[in-house]
Structure 1
Amino acid sequence: MNILRIQKEGATVNLFKRIINNIKDFVNEHILSRTLVLVITILAIFAIITSRLFVLQIVEGANYLENFTLTIKREITIAGTRGKIYDRNGELLAYNELSYDVTIEDNGTYSTRKEKNEAINKTISDLIDIVEKNGDKVVSDFNIGVDEGGNYKFLVDGTKLLRFLADIFGHKYTDDLKYNEDLGYDEAKASAKDVVKYLSSSAIYGISDKYDKVKTIKIITVRFALAQNAYQKYISTTVANQVSDATVAAVMEHIDELVGVNIEENTIRKYNDSVCLSSILGYTGVISDEEMEKLNKDEKKYDSTDIVGKAGIEQVMDSYLQGSKGSETLYVDNVGKVIKEADFVPSSSGNDVYLTIDKDLQAKVYKMIEEQLAGIICSKLINVKNYNVENVAKASEIKIPMDDVYFALINNNIIDINHFTANDASENEKAILSAYEVAKAAAVSNLTGIINDSSGSKPYNTYTKEIQAYCDYIQTSLNAAGVIVTSNFKDDETFDKWTKGNISLYEFLSYAISSGNLDSTQIETSVKYSDSAEVYQSLVEYITKHIFESDGFSKIVYDYMIKNDAISDSQLCLILFDQGIIQDTGSEAESLSNGSVSAYNFMYNKIKTLVITPAMLALDPCSASCVVTDVNSGEVLAMVSYPGYDNNRLANTVDANYYSALTKDKSLPLFNHATQEKTAPGSTYKMITATAGLTEGYVTTGTTFTCTGIFNAISPPAKCWKYPSAHGALNVSQAIQHSCNYYFNELGYMFGQSNGSYDSDLGLSVLKKYASMYGLNAKSGVEIPESDPEISDKDSVRSAIGQGSNNYTTVQLARYVTTVANSGTCYNLSLLDKVTDSEGNTIEDFTPAVYNTLDEVNASTWDAIHTGMHAVIGDLDAFKNTTTDAAGKTGTAEEVSTRGNHALFVSYAPYDSPQIALATRIPYGYSSGNAAEIGSEVIRYYFKEEGYENIIDGMANSSGQVVGD
């Protein structure tokens, strides 16, 4: 029993031992292994993360969400205030004015593009309604508008149009424009309608057709501007600037429902005496991609929203005028709303620029020019129609027929012919439109018959003047469009017959096709060309669609309606009242209607009183320029280009319609007539020839030549302006006084003498040497853009009297006469006086540099030249009432025989101790006496002669003198 018990106990012990050993093995194998430790660690970490997420998302979720939105940080720059521009006397010319702008940001949240487009378009539409309801205008700098007929139209053309199209289709360069397979047309040839359709599509702005065309353009304008800042949603886009308090209040009242809309303070650029100074000051605007690329070439200073100078001094001195930018850190929420502002660094004002210009003198000279031009026009007006200028023997005898004046109202877009189709067109407008439609239909019918006359039985020279005008327009339009480029017909016999009028229009067009000189890619057609007949038919369709429906064609129709009395003169005059161009001061309109006042007398009076200005008519003469300098420093006191433009309407945000009108204005207001227009100098050049002759020893001050009226040493002979009469024997001073061509022809011939024979090139080299000494081989030095001068390179005999190929700007002639006035110091002229900081401290002083000194010219030569110029003044009617003793020289230059000669005058005063010099030019101004009138008034005003206050009276100048040369 004991043994059995002992055995049982031993078995139990062994069992326990085995269990214990098994437990030990399990623990060693599993509990103490690295795998288990890793699992436990992972479980612990998971538990911690779960706990932390619970705290972050559930317990503190709202607080952390708020903190998160504050971490969206934006760094913005703050533009500096642009510096001011002053004249030489401290008179303010350009400054900044506080204004309120209505702006919008693309900061909404949307689920789909469609939802976004609908919401933004509605907001913009509502905003436009609010702005316009309160009498303000939305920004209109998009280059598409709507004409009175309800059609989309481009407001720019040429290279500006191509640049615009490149921007529309997302290209950096205009050369990237291509045929767009998706759109089905060449991007470079897209019509205004095509562009609007493209931008209005659901893929772009999704603009509903519920908006009319005018509203559609306004919405596109804002959307396009927003797109430029798509990568910076917190940058605002201006919808309307300079708005009234009423608009501000109305917008703020609806601000909660206008997502992204705000009222912002801004500064706008403003100009005093804007029109007369526009050619000098220029204007400002938003930087373009090309400008930004150029200005940031060396260092990135400009952003896409920066305002920079676009022309004139504003552009040239932009780096001085630009203020230093500030910066600020913005914290915004996820829709772009500003939550917090920090790290504000203020911007600083730009430097101020002082010009050498005298503002009052500039403004007065501008009016002097306008009154003189009006006086010339009034003196040339005749109450006839169908005037043939080709029958006039002398340019000075050319007249201005009244039908040209009436047509000018249409041709220069003073009368808006597109308004004739408007719903609110007047009865006069409707009547003229009805007559026009009849006249146009007849013209198109006649031309269609001519274009399709394959017999060629009626050549061009058998057509009426009216039909010839239409045919000429067809040819020039095809050439301008690149369809038939006439320059390709070099030495072509058939084209020569066409230019001489010996073949028909059909023959010319057919020949252009058969000779391979028609670019069929320019013709919009679906025809797959197989023969010339199909090509010709496509060309006819192009002419019908594009040329017959153009404004240019319509204007020819109106021109001949006026000539043929299909429109009454009184009707046209009455439309000036209907369209608000002229305000009826009493019963003028009634007097015109009942015939108690003739249309001729009405128009004559309006031109005389400058209600209708020379610039508006754009008839010869309609432009002029005058530059006045300080002869002892080279500073420019006045530099007037007439006509000017209102740069207030181009600064900041361009008024696209106004800019479009300026580009189409035939008086060229955007063209600086003082620095860019070149003509021959005429007899104003003769002091150069005199200097050369006296200094090189060809003549002395006592040498005389006997003028016979014609210089026969060359062929064809050169005639003196006095021919068939003659001046007789003259010395150099007398030759300058009487402007004897013969005397200076003789000198030009002598300059070319070599071994007993005449070499024109040799003579030209002498003239070039002295023209260069007077600075006529280079630009004048003024800081704004200027055309290059052209020293004559042909015919030294005629070049010696300012003809040949001599071509100079007015400012270049001003530098030349300044050098004459001070007897030999040729300055680089300057418009800039100094630059100061905002505290008035001078940063930079601009003193005109001396370009050249005529040291080899002796005193006797200067005396002879001054004596001759002094005597010129004594012979001029313009100076009969001028008490300041002066010297001067007249000049005329003929460009074409069917237009008046260019009138020029250079002068300086006082004669004994010169202070100022001036140069004046009136393109197609008939006689140099007309330019001298302006010169005498400038001198009378500058030296404050008795009665100088009455020089300008708002009336056409009735004075004038026909001067020989």
Structure 2
Amino acid sequence: MIVQKPRKKKKLSRYTVLNIIMLTIFGIIVIKLLYLQVYKYDDYKERADVSSTRFVAEKAPRGKIYDNKGNLLATNTQTYTLTYTKTDESQERFYETMDKVFKILSENSEKFQDDLLLKIDGNGKFYYDFKTTSADSRKAVEKLFKRDRGLHEGVQKKLFKDEKGDLTDTQIDKINEELLKMTPEDTFYELVKTYDMYELILDPKLKEEGKEKEKEKEAEIKKYTNMSGKEVTDLLLEKYSVNDLRNYMVIKDTIKMQSFKGYRAVTIANNIKRDTAFIVEQKLNNLPGIDVSLTPIRYYPYKNLGSSVLGYMSSIGSWEESTYELQGYDASSDLIGTAGIESAFEEQLKGTKGGATIKVNSKGKETEKLFELESYQGNNVHLTIDKDVQYAAQQSLADQINALTTTGVNGEQPWKSATRGAVVAIEVKTGRILALASYPDYDPNLFAIPGQLTPEQSEKYFNPDLEKFGKEFISKTGATGGLDKLFYKDEESGIRDDSNDVYPRSFYNYATLGLIPPGSAFKPVTAVAGLQEGVFGIGETVYDSGTFDIHPEIGYKPKNYGGIGNQDTDIKRALEKSSNFYFFETEYRLYNKYNGGIEAQNKLAEYAWKFGLGSDPNRKQKLGTGIEIPERIGTMYSFEEYKAAKISTSMYAFVNAFKKGEYTGRTFIPFDIEKLDDDSDELKAAKQALKDKILARLELVGVDVEKATDDEFNKSVEPDILKIMKLSTKYKETIDSYEKEKGIKVDLENEVAKLANAVTLFTIDQKTEMTNIAEPINAAIGQGISNFTPLELANYMATLANNGVRNRVRLVDKITTQDGEVVKEFETEQVDKVDIDPQNYAAIKEGMRRVTNSGGYAQTVFDGFPIKTASKTGTADFRSDDEKYKEIGRQPYATFGGFAPLDDPKIAVFSVIYDASRGSFASMPARAVYEAYFKDELIKMDPNYPSKSSMFKKYVTDSPYKDNKDTLEPVKTEEIKKP
């Protein structure tokens, strides 16, 4: 039989095992690849497309702004912009790329965009470049700047590292307090660390691949991250300058601030030259993330002309980002109108953005355009402004101010503080503003490109050095009050305040915001009121002795300018000679006609309000002129306004007097009712209760309700006074000191009675001031608390010229699309009417005609002008005596108002020059305005007129601002091709 041998079990070789393992791994890889490339194809394709796809927004040009003849005042031009896009490669080569870019910009005298708040001055000192002088605003901006960059996180860890959950308001306030203690230098160190700028000194070898190198790199990075910002900075400064570090920081900071908003290119430089753009374009392959594009920028062909009307462009502030982003703005790069028409008509002027969806490679360069959306220009705004009249107003104002501050005018000494002013011209029948000038002005082109201002320009416009200016001002003007009197210094912030309105501010629109006393330019209003109310007849005279002393009961004797009398004076002579006496008497009679009550005190104000000067305080909504840009509404003296002013200032006078222990000759032991930090809550409440009782008493003046008698009021305040005495440690110490010094025992009850009597007397005095005739008489000549803007005063002159018809003033005629279709048109709108008898009107006009025909500087200015005009000068005081003027180195305002032609007025004008000392000195801009407006008529009257009038030649014939409506075309995108 055959016997089968058992089979020998075959062992697996190592080679076979290896093959099996390899086959298994290979199989897994194949399955994974199939899964990724087949099953998950669509998903990963979508992800890849998204990561390499970008939407690049295209800025839209703003609408144009025209004058009333079609000249372009604001348009757009195309400019080259250098941008940086964050990609893996551009991040890895960031510093290398930036070095190349900065080198190109430097070699071609270009500036990169620098909006970083933290700056370095010429001495290497760090500072914050604030765009405001307000201490509170500065704190808010600084706090937001530091929080946006995460600097609060380190402070929070230090203060509340063990805290969990949300912080309390108190804790947040503590963090903010610590943030504000961080100096600009400390902030720089923190940002160096925040932006990982240690990468500049990392060993290049650590970029090599491998686990060992990775570990070394991690260890190196950890070493730097454990250092303080200052330690890292000190190491960097061994190789780089502080300005180099800050330049990198500017770009890093912009990238971070935009990183919260998704993919967006960062602007490195704006408005670079074509040649520079060409150089960059040639090197793009070696500049990952860098690109050159064409973008529209705002352009103002006439530069400073009309800047107070047009406004300017600026970046969106961090505090308003969310508001604008909800409206479709890119807060990181879009500009908005910040003042004037640019701001008021932002919604109309802004364009509709376009853009393109593109594919990009690892360097951030476009490889394919997938979709494109066209951008559209905004609507156009057509102004009422006449470019030629505007130039005459603006340049003549600047020239007169220059003459006043340098050589002097009319043989007088220079007035060094006469550095501000305004001129407004209005078309009488329509209310259309033909010119609105404010001095000093500015070139809005400076702000059309962010980050381009020099440190000197930034300081001048946004953050003036008032200490330096003040010292120079004192040296020039001889101001006796010293620097702290001139510019009050806040002890906590160290910031000085220009409450005396001395520093000339370019961005402050003196025409619409500057409140000034009108002085004698107000007298035509008093003339209208006096004649219409019948307290004076047209031919009736009063003997003007120069001193108003014919009514002793009024308690004082105001005078004419210089105390000069005008003898027998009627309304025409009163206006011609600017007789204070006549207008004092007018108000005196008006006051007595209405029996001296509140109606009597308000009668003149009722006329002024109808002329557009101020607004009735009893109205729920104050009426302005109607202008489209921001304006302030003035105050005309009335009982209510004066009472409110007295109440608001009375407590200050009361506290000071009682602290000194003397009131109108009555003496008592000093009694301090000012709230002190170490006062108990009960004492603070007691002091406030006494003040409230006094204020309540004053509030009842002129109110028809039953009031306590003076004796009853006196008794009612005694318990309040006694309570303060008992609670006040300071008062007890004062009593002890007094007793030791005098060697007598103080009778507290007697002291309470003396103080109560003084308090009662104080309220009686305040009531007397509120209700007597002194202030109404002052108001009759444009003095006292009456203050108006030059715009309001020009509107009043236009209303007077229009026989009492007041129209809403406006700057805009119409809004059109880029194709010329009218979107909205603005018509003349009557808002009020002053009834003026024709004979009264004729008499007032005749008196105003004589103003420039009776000698003096105003006649010299208007000599040879063939068109009859009506005028009124004003020398407007705002200080009670010469010594108070000398304290702050200032002078009275010079004001001048009028209209022309006399018989059929077409244009009204008002001008003011701050600190020019004499009203007639403001007359020169008025003639310049008239000549520009009537230029064709003047030449028709006399073809040789241009050669006879030096002003006509200077401000009309030789104006550098020629018409551009037929010549200036905005540069089209297709006309500038990328190199």
Shorter-chain TM-score above 0.5? yes
Q: What amino acid is the match of 1:767?
A: L
The reply to whether residue 224 of structure 1 matches residue 224 of structure 2 is no
**Structure 2 counterpart of 1:170, from 147, 161, 180:** 147
The reply to whether residue 895 of structure 1 matches residue 869 of structure 2 is no
Q: Corresponding residue for 1:743? A: 582
In the alignment, the residues of structure 1 paired with residue 176 and residue 323 of structure 2 have an alpha-carbon distance, to the nearest angstrom, of 34
Residue 272 of structure 2 aligns to a residue whose secondary structure is coil
**Structure 1 counterpart of 2:447, from 639, 645, 650:** 650
Q: Corresponding residue for 2:404? A: 376
Superposed CA deviations along residues 66-122 of structure 1, whole A, max 9, x for unmatched, are: 785224455554432211111111101111111111111222259xxxxx5x84344
In the alignment, the residues of structure 2 paired with residue 192 and residue 398 of structure 1 have an alpha-carbon distance, to the nearest angstrom, of 49
Q: What amino acid is the match of 2:379?
A: N
Q: 1:704 to 1:295 in 2, by over 3 A?
A: farther
Q: Corresponding residue for 1:252? A: 281
Residue 913 of structure 1 aligns to a residue whose secondary structure is coil
Q: Corresponding residue for 1:871? A: 850
How far residue 632 of structure 1 moved from its aligned partner, in angstroms, is 1.0
Superposed CA deviations along residues 701-732 of structure 1, whole A, max 9, x for unmatched, are: 22222212112335553433245431122222
Q: Corresponding residue for 1:765? A: 602
**Structure 2 counterpart of 1:363, from 380, 385, 391:** 391
- What is the CA RMSD across the aligned residues, in angstroms? 3.4
Aligned 1:277-426 pairs, distance under 5 A: 277-295=306-324, 304-332=332-360, 338-380=366-408, 399=413
Residue 267 of structure 1 aligns to a residue whose secondary structure is strand
Q: What amino acid is the match of 1:123?
A: T
Q: Corresponding residue for 1:415? A: none
The reply to whether residue 941 of structure 1 matches residue 932 of structure 2 is yes
In the alignment, the residues of structure 2 paired with residue 173 and residue 786 of structure 1 have an alpha-carbon distance, to the nearest angstrom, of 39
Q: Corresponding residue for 1:194? A: 186
Query: Are the equivalent residues in 1 in contact too, given 2:324–2:331 (CA < 8 A)?
Result: no
In the alignment, the residues of structure 2 paired with residue 739 and residue 301 of structure 1 have an alpha-carbon distance, to the nearest angstrom, of 56
Q: Corresponding residue for 1:482? A: none
Q: Corresponding residue for 1:882? A: 865
**Structure 1 counterpart of 2:244, from 215, 219, 236:** 215
In the alignment, the residues of structure 1 paired with residue 301 and residue 150 of structure 2 have an alpha-carbon distance, to the nearest angstrom, of 37
In the alignment, the residues of structure 2 paired with residue 886 and residue 138 of structure 1 have an alpha-carbon distance, to the nearest angstrom, of 54
In the alignment, the residues of structure 2 paired with residue 100 and residue 869 of structure 1 have an alpha-carbon distance, to the nearest angstrom, of 57
Superposed CA deviations along residues 297-340 of structure 1, whole A, max 9, x for unmatched, are: 7x656654332211111111110011123354344567765444
Residue 147 of structure 2 aligns to a residue whose secondary structure is coil
Q: Corresponding residue for 2:635? A: 790
Q: 1:715 to 1:171 in 2, by over 3 A?
A: farther
The reply to whether residue 726 of structure 1 matches residue 523 of structure 2 is no
Q: 1:303 to 1:168 in 2, by over 3 A?
A: closer
Query: Are the equivalent residues in 1 in contact too, given 2:288–2:364 (CA < 8 A)?
Result: no
Superposed CA deviations along residues 443-494 of structure 1, whole A, max 9, x for unmatched, are: xxxxxxxxxxxxxxxxxxxxxxxxxxxxxxxxxxxxxxxxxxxxxxxxxxxx
**Structure 1 counterpart of 2:624, from 772, 775, 779:** 779
Query: Are the equivalent residues in 2 in contact too, given 1:102–1:239 (CA < 8 A)?
Result: yes
**Structure 2 counterpart of 1:661, from 460, 463, 468:** 460
Query: Are the equivalent residues in 1 in contact too, given 2:62–2:349 (CA < 8 A)?
Result: yes
Which sections of structure 2, spanning at least 5 residues, go unmatched?
1-24, 160-174, 201-235, 465-502, 616-622, 643-774, 939-944, 956-979
Query: Are the equivalent residues in 1 in contact too, given 2:946–2:952 (CA < 8 A)?
Result: no
Q: Corresponding residue for 2:419? A: 622
Aligned 1:523-542 pairs, distance under 5 A: none
Q: After alignment, is 224-233 or 85-94 more displaced? A: 224-233
Q: After alignment, is 635-644 or 132-141 more displaced? A: 132-141
Q: Corresponding residue for 2:518? A: 681
Residue 271 of structure 2 aligns to a residue whose secondary structure is coil
Superposed CA deviations along residues 662-685 of structure 1, whole A, max 9, x for unmatched, are: 235532111111111111000111
Q: Corresponding residue for 1:752? A: 591
The reply to whether residue 853 of structure 1 matches residue 833 of structure 2 is yes
How far residue 900 of structure 1 moved from its aligned partner, in angstroms, is 2.2
The reply to whether residue 717 of structure 1 matches residue 556 of structure 2 is yes
How far residue 48 of structure 1 moved from its aligned partner, in angstroms, is 11
Superposed CA deviations along residues 181-223 of structure 1, whole A, max 9, x for unmatched, are: 4799832243322222221225565574333233333332222
In the alignment, the residues of structure 2 paired with residue 121 and residue 160 of structure 1 have an alpha-carbon distance, to the nearest angstrom, of 35
Q: 1:841 to 1:895 in 2, by over 3 A?
A: same
Q: Corresponding residue for 2:747? A: none
Residue 689 of structure 1 aligns to a residue whose secondary structure is helix
Residue 169 of structure 1 aligns to a residue whose secondary structure is helix
In the alignment, the residues of structure 2 paired with residue 59 and residue 668 of structure 1 have an alpha-carbon distance, to the nearest angstrom, of 70
**Structure 2 counterpart of 1:914, from 905, 909, 913:** 905
How far residue 246 of structure 1 moved from its aligned partner, in angstroms, is 2.7
How far residue 370 of structure 1 moved from its aligned partner, in angstroms, is 1.8
Q: Corresponding residue for 1:580? A: none
In the alignment, the residues of structure 2 paired with residue 180 and residue 84 of structure 1 have an alpha-carbon distance, to the nearest angstrom, of 52
Residue 824 of structure 2 aligns to a residue whose secondary structure is strand
In the alignment, the residues of structure 1 paired with residue 591 and residue 152 of structure 2 have an alpha-carbon distance, to the nearest angstrom, of 50
Q: 1:239 to 1:836 in 2, by over 3 A?
A: same
Query: Are the equivalent residues in 2 in contact too, given 1:625–1:922 (CA < 8 A)?
Result: yes
Query: Are the equivalent residues in 1 in contact too, given 2:628–2:810 (CA < 8 A)?
Result: yes
Query: Are the equivalent residues in 1 in contact too, given 2:530–2:536 (CA < 8 A)?
Result: yes
Q: 1:257 to 1:742 in 2, by over 3 A?
A: same
Which one has more relative contact order, counting CA pairs under 8 Å at least 6 apart? 2
Q: 1:181 to 1:893 in 2, by over 3 A?
A: farther
Q: 1:262 to 1:718 in 2, by over 3 A?
A: farther
Q: Corresponding residue for 2:73? A: 93
Q: 1:924 to 1:303 in 2, by over 3 A?
A: closer
Residue 537 of structure 2 aligns to a residue whose secondary structure is coil
Aligned 1:801-880 pairs, distance under 5 A: 801-854=781-834, 856-875=835-854, 876-880=859-863
In the alignment, the residues of structure 2 paired with residue 334 and residue 76 of structure 1 have an alpha-carbon distance, to the nearest angstrom, of 16
Q: What amino acid is the match of 1:841?
A: E
Q: What amino acid is the match of 1:766?
A: K
In the alignment, the residues of structure 1 paired with residue 150 and residue 68 of structure 2 have an alpha-carbon distance, to the nearest angstrom, of 42
Aligned 1:512-591 pairs, distance under 5 A: none
Query: Are the equivalent residues in 2 in contact too, given 1:177–1:187 (CA < 8 A)?
Result: no
In the alignment, the residues of structure 1 paired with residue 933 and residue 395 of structure 2 have an alpha-carbon distance, to the nearest angstrom, of 14
How far residue 849 of structure 1 moved from its aligned partner, in angstroms, is 2.0
Q: What amino acid is the match of 2:799?
A: T
Give the TM-score taking structure 2 as reference length.
0.63
Q: 1:80 to 1:148 in 2, by over 3 A?
A: closer
Which sections of structure 1, spanning at least 5 residues, go unmatched?
1-45, 111-115, 382-395, 402-618, 956-965
Query: Are the equivalent residues in 2 in contact too, given 1:179–1:185 (CA < 8 A)?
Result: no
Q: What amino acid is the match of 1:785?
A: P
Q: What amino acid is the match of 1:882?
A: F
In the alignment, the residues of structure 2 paired with residue 243 and residue 733 of structure 1 have an alpha-carbon distance, to the nearest angstrom, of 63
In the alignment, the residues of structure 1 paired with residue 151 and residue 847 of structure 2 have an alpha-carbon distance, to the nearest angstrom, of 56
Query: Are the equivalent residues in 1 in contact too, given 2:625–2:792 (CA < 8 A)?
Result: yes
Query: Are the equivalent residues in 1 in contact too, given 2:314–2:447 (CA < 8 A)?
Result: yes
Q: What amino acid is the match of 2:120?
A: V
Q: 1:766 to 1:174 in 2, by over 3 A?
A: farther
Query: Are the equivalent residues in 2 in contact too, given 1:163–1:174 (CA < 8 A)?
Result: no
How far residue 798 of structure 1 moved from its aligned partner, in angstroms, is 0.6
Q: Corresponding residue for 1:83? A: 63
How far residue 399 of structure 1 moved from its aligned partner, in angstroms, is 4.5
Q: 1:782 to 1:654 in 2, by over 3 A?
A: farther
In the alignment, the residues of structure 1 paired with residue 524 and residue 73 of structure 2 have an alpha-carbon distance, to the nearest angstrom, of 37
In the alignment, the residues of structure 2 paired with residue 175 and residue 915 of structure 1 have an alpha-carbon distance, to the nearest angstrom, of 62
- Which structure has the larger Rg over C-alpha atoms? 1
The reply to whether residue 637 of structure 1 matches residue 434 of structure 2 is yes
In the alignment, the residues of structure 1 paired with residue 362 and residue 312 of structure 2 have an alpha-carbon distance, to the nearest angstrom, of 38
- Percent identity between matched residues is 25
Q: What amino acid is the match of 2:260?
A: Y
Superposed CA deviations along residues 740-784 of structure 1, whole A, max 9, x for unmatched, are: 10111112222222686x45x444311111111001124222211
Residue 436 of structure 2 aligns to a residue whose secondary structure is strand
In the alignment, the residues of structure 1 paired with residue 631 and residue 784 of structure 2 have an alpha-carbon distance, to the nearest angstrom, of 22
Give the TM-score taking structure 1 as reference length.
0.64
